[in-house]
A and B are shown apart, each in its own frame.
Chain A
Amino acid sequence: MAEVTWGLTTSHVPSIGAAMDRDRTEDPYWKPLFDGYRPAREWMAEHTPDVIILIYNDHANAIPLAIVPTFAVGTAARFQVADEVWGTRPVTDVIGHPALAAHLVESLVDDEFDITVAHQLEVDHGLTVPLSVYCPTPGDAWPAPVIPIVVNVIQYPQPTAARCYALGKALGRAIRSYPEHLKVAVFGTGGMSHQLAGERAGLINEEFDRMFLAKIQDDPQSLADLSREEYVREAGSEGIEMIMWLIMRGAMDDEITRIAETYHVPASNTAAALALFENRA
């Protein structure tokens, strides 16, 4: 039986990836953020999973305007890295896990989550930056195969926070019902507070972010109870990405242990955070 062994929540800001790609992580601007990652990275390097399930959103790079899936699971054997105008990140392609991905789709649909199946998917910074946050020097291959779960957060109506949390719980059931013994890490990505456009561009709400970082561990239900309007008002029009952390949280046990955490403002226009949890009381 497969099991979730740990969960990572992290921002996926493109400039965090660019700082690594261009060897800028020791610059004064970036050093505090990357120093903050170190304890989590050391722990994760000693706890390599068999599979990563990575929840993220596409940023107008691979999912066309024509059809906007609310939730999609990537079932391919390989996912190419998307060109995002500034060029393709110099990172290796992502290897999938088609057997577990197909099982997740079957289990989730049986559980009444009618998700989209992505047989082909290019992956943008939303997926590759969290992988680099986890493993900065992967060499020829990432440490584990990756199953992408793509969430629509850029077109209203986004799924509710409550639905994301419920999907996470169904995802946890789906993982535990897989017959092969696999250690699974779940990544919930995006956030924290930020707003790119409009007169409120540059919004940061540290108080909301700190509340969210605490409650994602011990009171996720209160975060699932917040409305979309509350997320956008408090965390900004792009801060609503944080609903994706609730999918990770739902897949884990009720009681989890915090291994590491860091919070830093700014990473370009965004409050950047990381929190790492082991799936045990």
Chain B
Amino acid sequence: MTKPEIPGTYLFGIEDSRQGFALNSFCASLTSVDDRKRFLDDEAAYLGRYELTAEQRQAVLDRDWVTMLDLGGSIFYVYKLAMVDGKSMQYLGGVFTGMTTEEFQAALEAGGRHFG
């Protein structure tokens, strides 16, 4: 069975993981206290350790969260980068849905967003 397509939804699969392997590996490295510090000291130099594509590298530097996911980032890995920046999953939810963090949180507190 091939991977289903569900609008507005990422279903992180084998091809995504292959494409995003270096990007996700970079994000995974941020769980180490020492590597977090090295990254924050010099982002561009630290990214040089990983074989990111030019687009992936730019998306990280720009904190372009949607592009990171489009280029094979897994939300669970990309979220680690967001946490290094002090951003929450609700902040990312706002970015993905065109809302402010407060609007996104309010939508959740009102029972969540409904589809179909």
Q: Is A200 positioned at the interface, with any CB of B under 8 Å from its CB? A: yes
B93 touches A201 (CB 8 A): yes
Q: Known contacts A154-B74, A202-B97: does B112 contact A268 (CB below 8 Å)? A: no
Cα separation A273 to B33 with both chains bound (whole Å): 33
Report the interface size for chain B: residues with CB under 8 A from the other chain: 49
Within 8 A of A (CB), among B15-32: 17, 21, 24-25, 27-28, 30-32
B11 touches A65 (CB 8 A): no
A60 touches B74 (CB 8 A): yes
Chain A hits for B3, CB < 8 A? 156-157
Within 8 A of B (CB), among A192-217: 193, 195-206
A59 touches B112 (CB 8 A): no
A65 touches B104 (CB 8 A): no
Cα separation A193 to B8 with both chains bound (whole Å): 15
- Which one of A59, A85, A86, A200 contacts B8 once the chains associate, using CB atoms below 8 Å? A200
Q: Known contacts A65-B28, A202-B107: does B10 contact A197 (CB below 8 Å)? A: yes
Chain B hits for A196, CB < 8 A? 75, 79, 89, 92-93
- Which one of B76, B104, B107 contacts A60 once the chains associate, using CB atoms below 8 Å? B76
Q: Known contacts A60-B74, A198-B9, A229-B4: does B109 contact A266 (CB below 8 Å)? A: yes
- Give the residue name and chain of the B residue nearest to A204 (CB): B112
A64 touches B114 (CB 8 A): no
Q: Is A269 positioned at the interface, with any CB of B under 8 Å from its CB? A: yes
A232 touches B108 (CB 8 A): no
A268 touches B90 (CB 8 A): yes
Question: 9 A-B pairs, CB-CB below 8 angstroms?
Answer: A60-B77, A60-B80, A155-B13, A156-B12, A157-B1, A204-B112, A228-B4, A232-B9, A265-B111
Instruction: Across the A-B interface, give the 5 residue pairs with the lowest CB-CB distance, nearest first.
Output: A204-B112, A199-B8, A60-B76, A200-B8, A156-B13
Known: A83-B32, A206-B111. 8 other contacts (CB 8 A): A60-B24, A65-B24, A84-B31, A197-B92, A198-B10, A201-B113, A237-B6, A266-B109
